[in-house]
Amino acid sequence: MIRNDAGDSTPALRTDHLGRRYGRVWGLRDCTLEVPAGAIAAVVGPNGAGKTTLLEMIIGLLQPTEGQLSVFGETSHAPMAARLARVSYVAQDHPLYRDFSVADMFHLGRAMNPSWDQELAVARMDALSIPLKRKVKSLSGGQRSQVSLTMALAKRAPLLVLDEPVSSLDPVARLEFMREVIAAAAGTGLTVLIASHVVSELERLCDWLIVLTGGHVQLAGPADDLIAAHQLLTVPRATPDAELPGVTIHRTDSDRHSTVLVRADPVRLAVQQRPGWRADPVGFEQLVMAYLQRPPQAAARDDTAQAARPGPTTKAVTR
Amino acid sequence: MIWVSWRQHRSQAIACLGLLAALAVYAILLGTSMRTAFGQDGLVTCLARSHGTGCPAGIQAFTNRFGSEVNVAFWSVLLILPGLIGVLVGGPLIARELEYGTWRLAWSQTVTRARWLTVKLGLVTGGIIVLGAAMTALIMWYRAPMDRLTGRFLPNIYDFEGLVLTAYILCAFGFAVLAGLLIRRSIPAMVAAFIPWLAIRLVVEFLLRPHFEAPLTFNQVCPQNGACYGGIGLGTLPPVTGHIGDWVLSQGPGQASAANTYLYQPADRFWTFQSIEAGIFVALTAAALGATIWLLHRRAA
């Protein structure tokens, strides 16, 4: 599933206890992650979860308060120009200079990036029938997002970071935007990091999943492995959490039954199958939603719990 | 980066050129007629002969005719012009990027933000220096005849000649760039930069400028039975020292041999004073721009 067949073991992104404080409030804390080269990773979380903080530290727009960060081996202590060359960024709301024409924007891209690919930029605008002479302010929201994406792609950096790229777009523009991202990533080995709170858009697209809430990493790893590591149990209503196999992530109690999403320990699951219990696989969106509804502190508790018990933790599932 | 800076400041540059063109038309029209009148009134020979004391009537006639062109009220309003130019150019330089979110675009390209800022500041500062120098040259040229009668220490003259005009614009610009980074919004940044600029400008003009160098003393000896020619202040032509352009600051107590004692700054200190004052404002500019570069660098890098 991960297409990094070059034998290059340097991950696209690695963070180690990364944290950023704003005054007294931590925007992100204890963030330890690894994303392999070539992955398309979703960073999911509600607003204020620390997504933008994480992204801006990856790009170099923000300096970490604590911890380590490296992008293709370049740490946050490397010269700024070296770091900037490895990441391209599509910021939230697709900022562009309103009084520039599309051609002016590309001229800016060429002037500010030695690796700029003007042919690619022009060809993309051609394919999307966006005239180069058109001023940015007269473009539609969808077209603006495409110009932003094109600017990022033409920078030819190995990591593409997108911050809420579709939240301001209508459904048709969302589809078109995501289709362009998939097409750009396909076969080029480009690593993509997409932050979003729109979960449904990401399911088909992403093979790596990072869930953030309240400044903490709730879940991180290859999407398929994470899905396989969780089970949706239907059990009699009275069953306490302690009797369930694995860690309870989310629980819904109805009149007679409880539906519990657990991070399952397969061995215990097999042993503890009981009459009246049912185990179902979980879906991507279900899994993400369950983690989004967990209190942020639960992530920290898990870390201590998992240290004692083998299970599919963040570190264990990285390749 | 040069292209980027030019593209972003193009409209400001055009507006400044427009301002300069308007000033040029005004200066050429007035300057020509002043020169003609100056020759016709015989002031050239009078000045050469008696250093201005011999023809008070001629001087009076000329200053009455053209006085409004170096009119105190008019130029006092224009006193704020360098500040306005400076804050209008400097305020949006960073604040606009922060207001519209385009900083995320500008600072995530391969060019580092430190370089982005240095190139931009370098080019805009260069543009301001060219603009300031051109404005000063035009003003000094058209007013040259009048300056020969009044000297150049009158505030409404001093503030628009020599080096200070450019330094005033630079200072307001530097303050506005820094305010833009701190306040993150263009218009509040312009206001926040303009107020201290004006305050410093007035303090320097009224409190510091008279004391850039220790004033000289002039002992006036009055004729035995005549009225003593008197009056101090810049408006008196020629001043009590008898030398056009001397800046008489105050009247001191009369001493035994002299009727009156005056403190004054001699006319030939003009360029020294201009250099000192321009130095103050350029130093303030450098401090503000240096702080901006340091703060922007510290924000992340």
Q: Strand, coil or helix: what is A262?
A: strand
Residues forming a β-bridge with A69: A15
The answer to whether residues B166 and B136 touch, using CB atoms and an 8 Å cutoff, is: yes
List CB contacts (< 8 A) between A115 and chain B.
Answer: 110
**Alpha carbon B3 to its chain's center:** 31
Chain A partners within 8 Å of B111 (Cβ): 81, 84, 111-113
Residues in chain B with CB shorter than 8 Å from the CB of A98 are: 100
Mean pLDDT by 10 residues, chain B (301 residues): 92 94 90 83 73 68 69 70 95 95 93 92 96 94 83 85 95 97 96 97 93 86 61 59 79 63 87 96 97 85 40
Residues in chain A: 319
The verdict on a CB contact (< 8 Å) between B108 and A89 is: yes
- Flag the least confident range among A60-64, A303-307, B141-145, B284-288: A303-307
**Which chain A positions have a beta carbon within 8 Å of B301's beta carbon?**
60, 63, 80
Residues of chain B contacting residue A59, judged by C-beta atoms under 8 Å apart: 108
pLDDT confidence bin for A122, thresholds 50/70/90:
very high
pLDDT of A169:
87
CA–CA min distance A118, chain B (Å): 15
Asked if pLDDT for residue A298 goes beyond 70, the answer is no
| Structure tokens, B70 | 């170096």
pLDDT at residue A319 greater than cutoff 80: no
CATH 3.40.50.300 fits A13-223, yes or no: yes
CB distance B277 to B210 below 8 Å? no
Interface of A with B (CB under 8 A): 59-63, 80-81, 84-85, 87-89, 91-93, 95-98, 100, 104, 107-109, 111-115, 148, 151, 155
Q: Do B4 and A111 touch (CB under 8 A)?
A: yes
| Residue B68: per-residue pLDDT | 60
Cβ(B196)–Cβ(B112) under 8 Å?
no
> What is the tens place of the pLDDT at every residue in A188-221?
889 999 998 778 778 878 889 999 988 888 889 9
Q: Terminus-to-terminus CA distance in chain B, angstroms?
A: 19
- Whether residue A3 is predicted with pLDDT greater than 50 in this model: the reply is no
> Residue A169 is encoded by which pair of tokens?
């777009």
What does pTM read for this prediction?
0.86
By Cβ distance, the residue of A59, A88, A91 closest to B101 is A91
pLDDT at A6 over 60: no
Letter for the amino acid at A144?
Answer: R
Q: A160 near A88, Cβ under 8 Å?
A: yes
| Contact assessment for residue B83 and residue B185, using Cβ atoms and an 8 Å cutoff | no
Q: How far apart are CA B286 and CA B86, in angstroms?
A: 14
Bond preceding residue B238 cis, omega within 30 of 0: yes
Instruction: List the alpha helices (DSSP H) in A40-162.
Output: 51-59, 80-86, 102-112, 118-127, 141-154
CB pair distance less than 8 Å for B300 and A60: yes
pLDDT at B70 (0 to 100): 54
Q: What is the pLDDT of residue A309?
A: 40
CATH code 3.40.50.300 region(s) in chain A: 13-223
The reply to whether residue B104 touches residue A85, judged by beta carbons under 8 angstroms, is: no
Inter-residue contact A235 to A269 (CB < 8 Å):
no
Q: Please give the residue of chain A at the shortest CA–CA distance from B112.
A: A81
Residue to mutate among A61, A106, A156, with most B CBs inside 10 A, is A61
Please write the tens of the pLDDT for every residue from A223-277: 888 988 888 888 888 788 877 777 888 888 888 888 888 887 665 666 566 777 8
- Contact indicator for B131, B165 with CB cutoff of 8 Å: no
